């Protein structure tokens, strides 16, 4: 059974790869050339997870991706946390 998009959204990984290979990103990363192989491997893992029969197995496969380990929605993995902005325990919009 194919996993639904709320479990595995392949588009997220394709977006990350196209952002990486885009001329703007490569121009910004001129002095640290990035071959985007991690993002390409993420796409392959995402399709493997998408075709997994068990949702828990799909989530385990996604945990191995570069996106999930370094970026994703977990702000603690952000490469700019602590350097450009401070990571808060509670977001400012919750102070209403």
- Coil, strand or helix: which one is 73? coil
d(CA 87, CA 73): 13
The angle formed by the CA atoms of residues 35, 37 and 42, to the nearest 5 degrees, is: 145
Kindly report, residue by residue over 45-77, the tens digit of the pLDDT. 999 999 998 999 999 999 999 888 877 666 666
Given this model, what pLDDT does residue 4 score?
Answer: 77
d(CA 65, CA 38): 8
Torsion 74-78-32-18 (CA) sign? positive
Whether this model's pTM surpasses 0.85: no
- Dihedral of the CA atoms 90, 92, 95, 96 (nearest 10)? -140
d(CA 3, CA 52): 7
């Amino acid at each position: 059974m194919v996993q639904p998009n709320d479990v595995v959204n392949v588009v997220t990984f394709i977006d990350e790869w196209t952002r990486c290979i885009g001329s703007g990103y490569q121009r910004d990363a001129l002095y640290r050339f990035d071959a985007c192989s991690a993002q390409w491997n993420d796409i392959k893992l995402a399709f493997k997870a998408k075709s997994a029969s068990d949702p828990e197995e799909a989530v385990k496969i996604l945990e191995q991706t570069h996106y999930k380990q370094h970026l994703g929605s977990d702000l603690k993995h952000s490469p700019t946390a602590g350097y450009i902005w401070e990571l808060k325990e509670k977001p400012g919009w919750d102070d209403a």
